[in-house]
Chains A and B, each alone.
Chain A
Amino acid sequence: MSEVAKGKSKRLDHAKAAGAFIAKADHVAFHDKRLWDLRSKRDAQAHGMPEWETLRELASGIKEHTLSHLADYLDQFITQAESHGVVVHYASTAEEHNEIVYKLMSERGLTTLVKSKSMLTDECKMREYIEPRGITVMETDLGERIQQLDNQDPSHMVVPAVHKLRADVAELFGRTIGTDPKNSDIHYLAESQRMNTRPYFVREKTAGMTGCNFAVAQTGTVVVCTNEGNADLSANVPSLHIASIGIEKLIPRISDLGVFIRMLSRSALGSPITQYTSHFRAPRAGSEMHYILVDHGRSERLAMEDFWYSLKCIRCGACMNTCPVYRRSGGLSYGFTYSGPIGAIINPTYDMKRFSSLPFASTLNGSCSNVCPTKVNIHEQIYKWREVIAANHEVPFVKQEVLKMAGRLLASPTLYRGTVASLGGALKRLPNFVLYNPLNIWGRQRDLPETPAETFHEWYKKNRKAANK
C-alpha cells in the first residue's frame, strides 16, 4: 500500500456520506440532473459517429499496448523531452513529487505557483505539502479554485465543484474573495474569479504548473486539454513551467493522439472538443520547463492481474456522469481525488481497508463500462474488488455474519425448507432469507412485500403430480 494510506486506515463510510448528501434535496436533484444532462450530450455525440465503437476499441488497444511496454515508452519520452531542453524528473511517491516541486521553486526563489487543473497534484496532496513551506498556490481552473477556497477535494474529475449550487458558490466567494454573497449570477461569479486569479499570472517570483492529458513518447510532447485557457497562461507566462505527469498518460505516437482527442471531450462533456488542446514540447527562450513523471502506486497497480486495466483511464469522467449511484451520492462521499465508479476501483489500490466500502457503493449495473472510451471493465473490477475485500475480512462484521448464515441456509435444501416452513410472515422471513433486512433497514423507507399464503414449492407439491413421484 502506498504512502497515502499511512495512518489513514479508518474505514470510509460511503453510505453515511451519501445519505448526508441526499438529505440536501435541492443539491441531489440538481447534481443528478446536471450530470445526466452531460451523459445525454455524450450519447448524442457518440451516437452521431458511426465509428465510435471502433474508436473505443482502438483507444483500448493503444493503451493496453503502451502499458505493456511502458518502460520503453517512458525511455523514449524522456529522451525526446531532454533533447528539446526539458528537464525530466521521476517521482516514485507522492512525497517525492511534492519535494521536487518545492525544491524547483525554492532554489529559484519563487513563491507563487499558478496552476491549471491536475487530478494528479490533488492525488499527491501537493498543496498540503508546499503551502506550509511558504508557497502560495493559486488554482486557476474555476471548479478547482472553488474547491480550493472551500478546502475540499474535487468532487468530480472534470467539473470539480459540480456538487455545489451557484448560491453555495456566491456565499463562498463572498466569504473568501469579497464578492456580493447574494449575487449568484454565474457570469458575475466566473468573472469575479477570473479577476481574482489573473493577476497572479503576472506576479513576480511565480512558477506555472499544468497537468497532462497525454504524453506522446515519439515527440516528448505534453498535451493539455482545457476549456478555460488557464493552462496556457500557467505554462506560458511564468519563467518556469512544471508539468506533472502520471506515468500512465503515455501514448506512443502523435498519430495516436487523434483517437483520444476525438473521444475525450465528447465523453466528458458531450462537446466535440475542448476549447484548447495545447501541445508543450520545449521551454520558451529564456525560461525553463520541467516534467515530473509520477508513479505513486501505478507500477504496483500495473502488476495487479485483475486491476491493471484501470490504468487505461483518461480521466474523462463519463463513468461518473452515467453512474446512478454517484449522481445521488456526490463525489465527496468517495473520500479521495477519484470518485464515482473509477474511484471505486482506483482508491482501494491505495488503501484497501480505508476504501473498502467503495466497491459496494455500486449496483453493478454496468453502465460505466459501456460509456468508458478506453473500455475499462469498471463494473467487473468492482465485482472482483468485492471478492478481494471479503477474502481479506474487510466486510463489516454484521454483514459478514449474515452472509455466513445465509450461505449455510442456502447450502442445505433441508435446512432451507425447514426454515421457510417454520417462519411465518415477511418480517421474520426476510432477514433470514434474502439478506435484505439484517437490521430492518429495508423497511425504514420501503414497504415489505406481503407474505403469500404458500411458497411456490408448497404450491407445486399440491398442484403437480410430478412433485410426488
Chain B
Amino acid sequence: MKVALFVPCFIDAFYPEVGIATLELLERLGVEVDYPQEQTCCGQPMANSGAQKEAAGAERVFARNFADYDYVVGPSASCIHHVREHLTAIEQSASVRKVRASAYELVEFLHDVLNVREFPWAEFPHRVGLHNSCSAIRHLREVSASEIGATPFSKPRTLLEGVKGIEFVTPTRPDECCGFGGTFSVTEEAVSVRMGQDKVRDHLGAGAQYIVSGDMSCLMHQQGCAERLKLDARFIHIAQVLNGARA
C-alpha cells in the first residue's frame, strides 16, 4: 500500500503541528508514508472563486506529485472534496483520474480503509464540541446531515470515542456552517464573522472546552472570531487528538 501525505498549503504554513500529527498518527498505525516535497496546493482557493484558469497550475502540480500512490491522504475534508469532485481545470488523463479517485480525507482513511477504532495512546480529558465541516458532512458524507432523516452516524465521532477521557457536548445546531467558506471569509466579511461568532457561542453554550474538527480552516476562522471577542474557547485538530495530544 503506497500512501502519500498531502499537507494543504495553509496547514503547511500556519498549522505544521497538524501535518506532523497526521504523519505521526499514520506511522503509529504502521503505514509507510511518503511526503512528496514538490506539493503546493490542490487548487481549491482559486477554483472555489470560479477561477478555473488560475487553478490549473496548482492542480497540475498536485496531479504530478501524487500520481504514483494507492492513497493520497490529507487532513482536510474541503481540500479532498475539491480533489475528488472539482479538480477539473486540467485535462482529465487516466493519471489525473486515478489521483482524484485515490484521495482520502484522514478520517475516512482511518475509518474506512485502515478500519481503526482504538487509539490506546490517546487521552483527551476535556469536554469536546465536535465541529464537522460542511465538506465532511454534505460532500464527503463522513457524518449524517441533519436535513436528511436517516440513521445518524459520524465517522469522526466514532474515531474520537476510541480516545480515553473524552466527553462530548452537542451544540443546538450541530451541523450549521461556521461561515469560513474560503474567500467568502473575506468577500462576505460581515456574514462570515457573524456566523463564526454564533458557532463558537453555540459550542460554549453547550459547555465545550475544546472545539475539535477535521478541518483546520474552519477552526482558523472560529479561533480568530473567538480570540477577538476574548471568548474562552480552545481549538484543536482531530489528528492531534487521535495522535495523543493532551491539550
Contacts and interface: CB of A to CB of B under 8 A. Distances in A.
Contact of B188 (A361, A400, A413): A361
Given A364-B181, A456-B11, A406 B190 contact: no
A429 B15 CA distance: 13
A202 interface: no
**Which secondary structure characterizes the binding site on chain B?**
helix
A328 B39 CA distance: 38
25 contacts: A23-B190, A36-B173, A324-B179, A325-B179, A360-B188, A365-B138, A365-B177, A389-B50, A399-B49, A403-B54, A407-B46, A407-B51, A407-B54, A413-B61, A435-B49, A436-B185, A439-B186, A441-B189, A446-B196, A446-B228, A447-B227, A449-B224, A452-B17, A456-B12, A461-B37
B177 to A, nearest CB: 4
A210 B175 CA distance: 38
Interface string A394-413: 01000110011011111111
Interface stretch (A45-53, A170-178, A242-250, A286-294): A45-53
Contacts of B134: 363-367
B40 A457 contact: no
A313 interface: no
Contacts of B137: 366
A364 B139 CA distance: 10
Contacts of A390: 49-52
Interface of B: 7, 9-17, 19-20, 23, 34-35, 37-41, 43, 45-46, 48-58, 60-61, 86, 134, 137-139, 145-149, 173, 175-177, 179-196, 198, 220-221, 223-225, 227-228
B194 A28 contact: yes
Contacts of B56: 407, 411
Which of A329, A407, A437 gathers most chain B CB within 10 Å? A407
A361 B175 CA distance: 19
Contacts of A439: 186
B50 A387 contact: yes
Given A446-B225, A447-B224, A407 B55 contact: yes
Nearest to A22: B190
Nearest to B17: A452
A395 B51 contact: yes
Contacts of B221: 446
B223 A324 contact: no
B15 A407 contact: no
Pick from A15, A388, A448 the residue with the most CB of B within 10 Å: A15
A434 interface: yes
Contact of B51 (A385, A403, A416, A455): A403
Nearest to B219: A449
Contact of A413 (B17, B20, B38, B227): B38
Contacts of B189: 15, 19, 441, 444-445
Interface of A: 14-15, 18-19, 22-23, 28, 32, 36, 43, 46-47, 52-53, 322, 324-325, 328-329, 359-367, 369-371, 383, 385-391, 395, 399-400, 403-404, 406-413, 416, 420, 426, 429, 433-439, 441-442, 444-449, 451-452, 454-461, 464, 466-467
A328 B195 contact: yes
Contacts of A14: 188
A312 B237 CA distance: 40
B12 A446 contact: no
B65 to A, nearest CB: 8
B230 to A, nearest CB: 10
B14 A410 contact: no
Contacts of A445: 189, 193, 225, 228
Given A386-B50, A467-B37, A411 B186 contact: no
B17 A449 contact: no
Contact of B43 (A386, A410, A433): A410
A298 B148 CA distance: 30
Contact of A467 (B35, B60, B138): B35
B186 A441 contact: yes
Contacts of A371: 147
Contacts of A444: 189
Contacts of A28: 194
Given A410-B57, A438-B186, A459-B20, 6 more contacts: A365-B138, A371-B147, A407-B54, A441-B189, A461-B37, A467-B35
A415 B1 CA distance: 32
B19 A456 contact: yes
Nearest to A439: B186
The 3 closest A-B pairs by CB, nearest first: A411-B57, A407-B54, A446-B224
B109 to A, nearest CB: 18
Given A370-B145, A438-B186, A361 B191 contact: yes
Nearest to A413: B38
A55 B195 CA distance: 32
B82 to A, nearest CB: 10
Contacts of B9: 410, 416, 433-434
A5 B74 CA distance: 45
B50 A388 contact: yes
B132 to A, nearest CB: 11
A461 B40 CA distance: 15
Given A328-B191, A446-B221, A449-B14, A367 B147 contact: yes
B50 A433 contact: no
Nearest to A447: B227
A53 B10 contact: no
B61 A411 contact: yes
B188 A325 contact: yes
Contacts of A52: 149
B206 to A, nearest CB: 16
Contacts of B139: 366
A443 to B, nearest CB: 8
